[in-house]
Every structure is written in structure tokens, then in C-alpha cells.
Amino acid sequence: MKTIIKYDLLYFKKTSKFIVFGILGVFLAGLSALTAKYFNLIIEFSLGQEGIDITLPEPTVLESYTQFFSNFTQIYVFVLMFVAIMFFIQDKTRGHYPLLFTKPIYRSHYLLSKSIVITATVVVSYFVSALFFGYYTYFLFGEFDVGLFLIASLAFIAFMLLMVHLGLVFSVVFKTYLGAIMVPIAIFILFGLLTPLDGGIMKYLPQHLLVYPVSLMAQSVETSVVVITSLIALGISGGLIYLSIKLFQSKSLI
């Protein structure tokens, strides 16, 4: 198991994916805080050049939180899905399986290694970005709710891991990268369409983690609901890993 993890980590180091995720996350974090603080001023200035005199309201720290989670949902999650699924399926598409599994490697260890490496990448790069965002938000707005933001971040990480492990399942099912990536993207879009359905028990369905981080920062959703939904999403991720292993063990390597 350790050997496989070292192999996967070496691939990430060789292709600089750790650095790419870190740079992308820090860039989006800084951009979020700056956009929230100065976007209204830019709009006022632009309209003023056209002879339109308008005064927009002073931005609040909630706008910074909203911008952060919006940027990470629309950009970071998509990049993560594309990279993660490529990472999962590359040995298959390159025809490496017959050679790779002539060695004493358990298929379960092979998939678990990839899950561990991607999970570590998500958690580390996200929290580096979150620290950067927290610093700039406090610097620009004079306040930052560390406790609430931490819970919102854990919820968002749970959502990202859910999407990653959906990608893992379809990387096992499909033989091509295109097939493996299209279904998770379709599910992501479907999740977005289903977020308004939050009556009764449906409020605990994982798709709501797309909006719960911002709702939590606005204190318009109960913390317990966010925590329970996050735990459900993590539980589903665990189930998806188990399903991936079972499917992988039943498939031919040719």
C-alpha cells in the first residue's frame, strides 16, 4: 500500500499538480476578497465615465464569503474533477493495467491509494487557500468568523470529495476519459437544479452542500443541518469507494 501511495505521490510531484491546485486555490481566494471589496467601486467608476451618477451600497463581509464559495464551486471543483478523473483513469487508457497488475498489487489498494492522494490534495490545497482568504478578508473588511467559516469549509470539502469519488466510480465503469468525465459533470449540473428542493428530509441531501456554506455564513440555515448533510455526503463517498473497488475487482484488465 505504501509503495502504491509513493507511486501516486511521485506522479503528482512530477506533474506539479500539488502546486497547480495550491496556486489556483490561493489565486481564487485572493480574487474573491478583492472582488467583494472593490467591485462596487469599479462599477461606480465605470458608470461615472458614462455620465451615470450612482452610489452602490458598501460591500459587507458576507459578499466576500459568497464570492469565495462561488469561485470555488464554479472553477475549482470543475478543475478538480477533470484532474482527478484523469488521475484515476490514466493507467487504463494508456494500457498499463496488464503490466501493473503482474506485480503483487491488490486492486483495492490501488484504488484506495488514488483516493487517499486526491483527498489529501483537496484538503491541503483548500485549507492553504482558506487561510489566505481569511487573512485578506480580515484585512479588507476588519472581521472574519473563523468558527463558522471552518464548518462551512468542512461542508464544502465533503461536497468536493463526493464529486471526486463519483468520478472514481465512473472511471472504473468507462473505458475512456470522455465517458468518465461527462456523467459526473451531468450529476453536478443536476445537483444545482435540485438545490431548491429542501422540504422535510430532502434538506439533508448532499446537493445542498452547493449552497449551504454561504447560507451558513449568512446564518440562514441551522448548523446542525449542515453538519448532518456533510456527514451523509462523507458516508456516500465511503460507499462510492467501496462500490468502485467491487466493480474494479470484477472487471477484466484487458
pLDDT tens, residue by residue, 158-187: 999 999 999 999 999 998 999 899 999 999
pTM here is 0.91
- Closest by Cα among 169, 147, 170, 185 to 244: 169
Give CA–CA dist 198/219, Å, rounded.
16
Q: With a cut of 60, say whether residue 45 has pLDDT above it.
A: no
In the numeric block, the cell 468558527 is attached to 147
State what percent of residues in the chain have pLDDT above 70: 90
Asked if residue 163 lies in contact with residue 184, where contact means CB atoms within 8 angstroms, the answer is: yes
SS3 202: helix
Contact 121, 18 (CB under 8 A): yes
Per-residue pLDDT at 39:
79
